[in-house]
Structure 1
Amino acid sequence: MRVIQAKEIADLLAWPALIERLRRTFQEGVESPGRHHHAMHRPDGEATMLLMPAWESAGYIGVKVVNVFPQNSAHRLPAISGVYLLCEGQHGTPLACIDGSELTRRRTAAASALAASMLARKNADTLLVVGTGQLAPMLIEAHSRVRPIKRVLVWGRERGEAVKLASHYADHFETAAVDDLRSASGQADIISCATLSTEVLIQGDWLRPGTHLDLVGAFRPDMRECDANALARAEVFVDTYAGAQGEAGDILQAIQEKAFRFSDIQADLFELVRGEKPGRSSDTAVTLFKSVGASLEDLAAAIEVWEQHRLRNPGQA
């Protein structure tokens, strides 16, 4: 069994190939039971363990184990860490143990980019990233592979981190760290939020016609990144119905506030990719994609890692 570290994953997962792998996997489908979600009561606060299994009907088998510790920010450590175990499908033999954190952030950004390739306006060129954690740079890179991004705005609770992230990409885009989230939202064609917020960050009234809102961070019912009005205004899409119904705090809280119904969701990624339901209705529509993550995405990314690893290291396969 091979151990594949984060640095190697970054080299193996080219964005176009990963996004296309996700597209094919959503089109073909895999067996993916619901995510196992376990709250852990730690001395310094609440933490979460996630178990995410998936398997192809006649192919690879995999499971991801993830620990989410929001309190890690106080120690300047990543909030999310984990591992992915990939097995072959004929006998169930383990093939690789893959760094789960790097795999997760790249597949998450790729799923957002896949959604944006069908939902964001084709000429969308200004991206606002809300949040400065490890997922934020991945969202910049992934979105820029599917839309002609020229300008990147970054907002974070710690301005210094926003400045650092904006500066990192200054050679590739026109970048700026922003303080006024309302003003920045009104300038953006795509708004991508990747936070662990339990309070509203983006308000529906701020969204100009044609905006695409990408909600990635909030993955528990008590978390949210936008208000109910944003959902009421938007054409809403999700990665999976099951994930949205169980864990998408933005949606669940809007339903509790009677501003939205689950039946108002336009489509999930399966239906979009397969062409079973349409995406954006017009260039003036506001679209919203809510992602909580799916084990299908992890399996697709792990397979891409493994098959690229075999191509580059034929003697080790």
Structure 2
Amino acid sequence: MLVLDAVQTRAALPWDGLVKALGDMFAKGCVMPVRHHHEVEVPGEADATLLLMPAWQPGAYVGVKMVSVFPGNQTRGLPAIHGSYLLSSGKTGELLAIVDGGELTARRTAAASALAARYLAREDASRLLVVGTGRLSTNLIEAHTSVRPIRHVTIWGRDPKKADATAKELELQGVEVAVASDLEAAAREADIVSCATLSTEPLIRGGWLKPGAHLDLVGAFKPSMRESDDEAISRASIFVDTREGALGEGGDIVQPLRAGVITEDAIRADLFELARGSHRGRTASGEITLFKSVGAALEDLAGAVLAFEASRA
């Protein structure tokens, strides 16, 4: 049995290969039951979340990820996300690999955003703003720069020191990296705005988005969370990773739906439709696009299979 730690998992999931693997899996599909989603009380802190996400390709692979999200870890200097992925044979049930779940989650999440950006961001997008300074921020920057000609990266966080530390972690050749003190000013200049936070109040205002901008909403994975306001949702062409997930869990979609700001018909397409070519994605250079992801077990399975096969080879 193969066991991959965080470093080995990262090495086995290069961005070009991972984005392609996700695209192929969305195009082909797999069996993906409804995931288990449980609230876990943490005395004196915000509730944690326990996720169990199964998926399989009949006769090929069976996988399940167990992930915990503890928001209070930010005050302890620990990652908010921990987890493991168990990959088994789809023919015998034999356990084949245990993959580091935190690294897999971070990279497949960022790769899903990059896959969406291939269809939704302008081909000449060169200015990226990342909102948030958690584990996902550097992954999102690397993933987006792998699919678009990003030359300027700006990082904004509630804590400027964390934003500065995130900027110093990056090693991107030919890319200028800066820390933003003014979120509005940075958003107005950005071709791509990528948010990865646990915010319960909108951070990005629709009036800040310039024509042709692409808004990538990765955080806010509960109905009570939100990273964009009603104007952003109203101005943008809306796309999601999976309709079921976005309509059930993504606060940026759920809240405006409940308020009557949009209807379900406002969602133009999901990643299945984009990957299969049944929707072209962006249709005009001045169109504002919005992609909301909450994660899907399919993405974990695609990443785990890629990591296993690459490491075995």
TM-score, length-scaled by structure 2: 0.98
Residue 16 of structure 2 aligns with which residue?
Answer: 16
SS at match of 1:154: strand
SS of the residue corresponding to residue 271 of structure 1 reads helix
Residue matched to 1:97: 98
2:292 is the counterpart of 1:290 = yes
Measure the CA separation in 1 of the matches of 2:3 and 2:32: 24
- Match for residue 228 of structure 1? 230
**Cα RMSD for the two superposed structures:** 0.9
Which residue of 247, 261, 264 corresponds with 2:263?
A: 261
Structure 2 counterpart of 1:178: 180
Distance 2:26 2:171 in 1: 34
Matched with 2:219 is 217
Whether the 8 Å contact between 1:228 and 1:257 is mirrored in structure 2 is no
How far, CA to CA, are the matches of 2:196 and 2:153 in structure 1?
15
Letter in 1 for 2:40: M
**Cα deviations across residues 218-276 of structure 1 (Å, max 9, x unaligned)?**
10000000011111100000000110111000111111222111221000000011011
Match of 2:33 in 1: 33
Question: In 1, distance between residues paired with 2:163 and 2:32?
Answer: 36
Superposed displacement of residue 177, structure 1: 0.3
Deviation at 1:82, TM superposition (A): 0.5
CA distance in 2, matches of 1:212, 1:149: 13
Match of 1:5 in 2: 5
Structure 2 residue corresponding to 1:237, chosen from 236, 239, 244: 239
1:144 aligns with 2:115: no
Other structure's SS at 1:106 match = helix
What residue is the counterpart of 1:115 in the other structure? 116
Does 2:85 correspond to 1:84? yes
How far is the alpha carbon of 1:44 from its aligned partner? 3.0
How big is each residue's C-alpha offset from its partner over 1:20-57, in whole Å with a ceiling of 9 and x where there is no partner? 00111001000001121001112133111000000002
**Residue type of the partner of 1:209?**
P
CA distance in 2, matches of 1:142, 1:236: 21
Structure 1 residues not aligned, in runs of 5+: 312-317
Note the C-alpha offset of 1:170.
6.4
Q: Counterparts of 2:58 and 2:270 in 1: how far apart (Å)? A: 21
Structure 2 counterpart of 1:302, which letter?
A
Residue segments in structure 2 that go unaligned for 5+ positions in a row:
none
Q: Which residue of 2 aligns with 1:204?
A: 206
Q: Is the 8 A contact 1:44 1:71 kept in 2?
A: no
Structure 1 SS opposite 2:109:
helix
The amino acid across from 1:184 in the alignment is A
**Deviating runs (4+, > 6 A) in structure 1?**
none
Distance 1:171 1:17 in 2: 18
Count of aligned positions: 311
What's the counterpart of residue 314 of structure 1?
none
Write the letter of the residue equivalent to 2:134: G
Alpha-carbon distance in 2 for matches of 1:253, 1:246: 10
Aligned-residue offset at 1:143: 0.3
CA distance in 2, matches of 1:76, 1:170: 22
In 2, Cα distance between the equivalents of 1:278 and 1:254?
25
CA distance in 1, matches of 2:91, 2:306: 18
TM-score of the two chains, using structure 1 as the length reference: 0.96
Work out the CA distance in 2 between the residues paired with 1:82 and 1:168. Answer: 23
Corresponding position of 1:169: 170
Give 1:299's aligned residue.
Answer: 301
